[in-house]
Chains A and B, each alone.
Chain A
Amino acid sequence: MSKLFPWDYHSDLTAARLVAIGELLRRGRHDAVDRHDEAIGDDNWVLGVRAYNCGRFRVVEANDSGEYPWLSIINPSLQFIFAVGLVPVRFYRGDADEPSEKTCRVAFPELNQLAIAFIEEQNDEMLFRFAVETHFDGSVDTIKFVGLRHKQTVLSWEVPLQLGEVVRFPLGDVVHDEGAELEPPKVGLLTDDNDVANDGV
């Protein structure tokens, strides 16, 4: 059977959990974007560093809150690795379809956790990442949960974020409408109600 979705690869990778992590990462990046200030010397490097650390912070904070019992931290350092259920995951900013060398690097704690997660299955060196794709201003465009094998993306699932989700809507008939003409705001003296109607025109 072909595997299309994250949960096809491991039952711990449910949509709800991945959405929860996606929202944390988005919030972290936006914390950084909100504080980005070129007037005091911030540049793209600062934004990238801050966004990574803010994202990491949000995940650690969520883990500490106890509200995400399926979340755990494998490596809290700057080589940040966390686990969704048993599956180790990392995150990066960049294109989901073109992971960099750095993105594909695997650290020992991650390998170790992968061996635990897939103890009864053939994982075949599959790595899991959140890819955060951004707009020009650094804000989040989309977040994708990706599976990488031999430096190639073999799984790419777009996390449905609240504002990013495309809303379905019906297409009606073509209507020729030039828009409603609006009157200027009307103003009058309270002392003379008769003057109200046209004083503002």
Chain B
Amino acid sequence: MRMGDSFAGEQLRLARLAHGFTLDELGGLVLTTRQFLQQIETGSKSPSAEMIELLSDVLGVTEDYFNHRARSPVQPEQCHFRKQATTPASVTSQVLARGTLLDMLIERLDSALKLPPVDFPEHSAVTADDIEAAAENCRRHWNLGLTGPITNMMRVVENAGAVVGYFGGVSERVDALSMDRRRPLIIRSEAKPGACRLRFDLAHECGHLVMHRGIHTGCRETEGQAHRFASAFLLPRTAFAREFPRTRYLDWKAIFAIKIRWKVSARAIIRRAYDLGLITAAQYKTGNIHLNKTGQAKVEIGDQDIIAEQPELLEAVFRTLEGRGSNALREIAQGVGLSDGMFELLVGRPLPFAPGVRNTGNVVRLFGHG
């Protein structure tokens, strides 16, 4: 068999898109032409051994990566992200490619580790009442009650089996998204969103995973439904209506007290009050104008008092593997063809060991093959 005969062109395309490289850009990095790379990707030409080595170095994958085939690439209808209609195709492709590669890694981790079982209830919801009921059922299902705040939204989704990750360098048009895979992925593209914003985003993505499995989302209707779910999940109607002040003018002191207790932004609180008919449209508009005029369009009073929740599941995975004093994490990453560069791109942290320190003698082998 000649070198490159088993080369999977679609794997090259996947890695290239994950980095956000155009054919021209990658061609510049590996000193070849756009046309040749395109021919490799479509399978009409095979690369030389030197070219494979170069590509693997630049893309941060193993040479063996190009012999794998992605079993089930993430499909657009499995990926829930906002503003889908105006998101450039290049950004969508990048997100889907990274999602596919991260999913491969997670699947591998899933087969080696005991992770929280996936447990997102399924509800179809169209009307406001359906969505309120779906959010309440989820709270009951996860034993969260209906009368108190969600103390940690990150733990809610991670305990339900979702992996929360971060894609750096993706267009700011994509703020948060979720992928409906065997183990759901929730991805943020903003490194450090405000605490309230992060909680609401997680609840929003949770809404997609509960209500929109297999449904093409990203339009105003489905986004509105996920938003309503997030509001209803974080601020259950009965408890919220009891606590929200019924005054002629908006009682900001009370609203900010609700914010601190429920860890939901003041803007989301007045929207919730409006959706539940607790304030009028005029009061709602006045409230929004007040927040904008007082410089609280992006950062609100009290934001600094709410601690941002951090993803813990992936960290626990890495800690568990590293705790064995082994090369296990690198072995798992390489098992799906990921080397240092791509691993860091996907999970936002480097692989723990350099390739040269494999023979320490205390390696716990997780798989029979390398």
Contact of A177 among B148, B156, B220 (CB under 8 A): B148
A12 beta carbon closer than 8 Å to chain B: no
Do B114 and A189 touch (CB < 8 A)? yes
**Number of A-B residue pairs having CB atoms within 8 Å of each other in the complex:** 140
- Using CB atoms, name the residue of chain B closest to A162: B127
The docked-state distance in angstroms from the alpha carbon of A166 to that of B173 is 31
Contact of B145 among A142, A167, A179 (CB under 8 A): A179
- Interface residues, chain A, CB within 8 Å of chain B? 27, 30-31, 33-37, 39, 133, 136, 139, 141-142, 162-167, 169-172, 174-175, 177-191, 193, 195-196, 199-200
Q: Which residues of A contact B114 (CB under 8 A)?
A: 186-190, 193, 196
The docked-state distance in angstroms from the alpha carbon of A15 to that of B238 is 30
Q: Which residues of A contact B85 (CB under 8 A)?
A: 34-35
Do A163 and B228 touch (CB < 8 A)? yes
New A-B pairs, 20, CB < 8 Å, besides A34-B220, A35-B85, A172-B242:
A37-B86, A142-B281, A165-B129, A166-B128, A169-B241, A169-B276, A170-B238, A171-B242, A178-B149, A178-B151, A179-B145, A181-B151, A182-B155, A185-B158, A185-B312, A186-B114, A186-B116, A188-B113, A189-B320, A200-B316
Do A139 and B220 touch (CB < 8 A)? yes
B150 beta carbon closer than 8 Å to chain A: yes
Do A182 and B148 touch (CB < 8 A)? no
The docked-state distance in angstroms from the alpha carbon of A141 to that of B220 is 12
As a 0/1 sequence over residues 38 to 82 of chain B, the CB contacts with chain A under 8 angstroms (1 = contact) are 000000000000000000000000000000000000000000000
Do B238 and A179 touch (CB < 8 A)? no
Do A167 and B129 touch (CB < 8 A)? yes
Contacts A163-B228, A179-B151, A200-B316; is A191 near B242 (CB within 8 Å)? no
Contacts A37-B86, A199-B323; is A177 near B281 (CB within 8 Å)? no
Contacts A165-B127, A171-B241; is A200 near B320 (CB within 8 Å)? yes
By CB atoms of chain A within 10 A, which of B86, B129, B218, B319 has the most? B86
The docked-state distance in angstroms from the alpha carbon of A66 to that of B233 is 40
The docked-state distance in angstroms from the alpha carbon of A35 to that of B219 is 9
Do B128 and A163 touch (CB < 8 A)? yes
Q: Mark out the residues of chain B between 195 and 253 whose CB falls within 8 Å of any chain A CB in the assembled complex.
A: 218-221, 224-225, 228, 237-239, 241-242
- Using CB atoms, name the residue of chain A closest to B171: A39
- Using CB atoms, name the residue of chain B closest to A138: B220
- In the complex, what's the smallest C-beta–C-beta distance from B32 to chain A, in angstroms? 32
The docked-state distance in angstroms from the alpha carbon of A150 to that of B289 is 32
DSSP majority for the B interface? helix
- Using CB atoms, name the residue of chain B closest to A195: B320
The docked-state distance in angstroms from the alpha carbon of A178 to that of B239 is 12
What would 23 A/B residue contacts be, using CB atoms closer than 8 Å?
A: A27-B221, A30-B220, A30-B221, A34-B83, A35-B85, A136-B288, A163-B224, A166-B275, A169-B237, A169-B238, A169-B276, A177-B145, A179-B149, A182-B159, A183-B155, A185-B115, A185-B158, A186-B114, A187-B116, A187-B316, A187-B320, A188-B114, A199-B320
B361 beta carbon closer than 8 Å to chain A: no
- Interface residues, chain B, CB within 8 Å of chain A? 83-86, 111-116, 126-129, 131-132, 143-145, 147-152, 155-156, 158-159, 173, 218-221, 224-225, 228, 237-239, 241-242, 275-277, 281, 288, 312-313, 316-317, 319-320, 323-324, 364, 366
By CB atoms of chain A within 10 A, which of B112, B148, B364 has the most? B148
- Using CB atoms, name the residue of chain A closest to B136: A169
Q: Which residues of B contact A33 (CB under 8 A)?
A: 220
Q: Which residues of A contact B83 (CB under 8 A)?
A: 34
- Using CB atoms, name the residue of chain A closest to B82: A34
- In the complex, what's the smallest C-beta–C-beta distance from B74 to chain A, in angstroms? 22
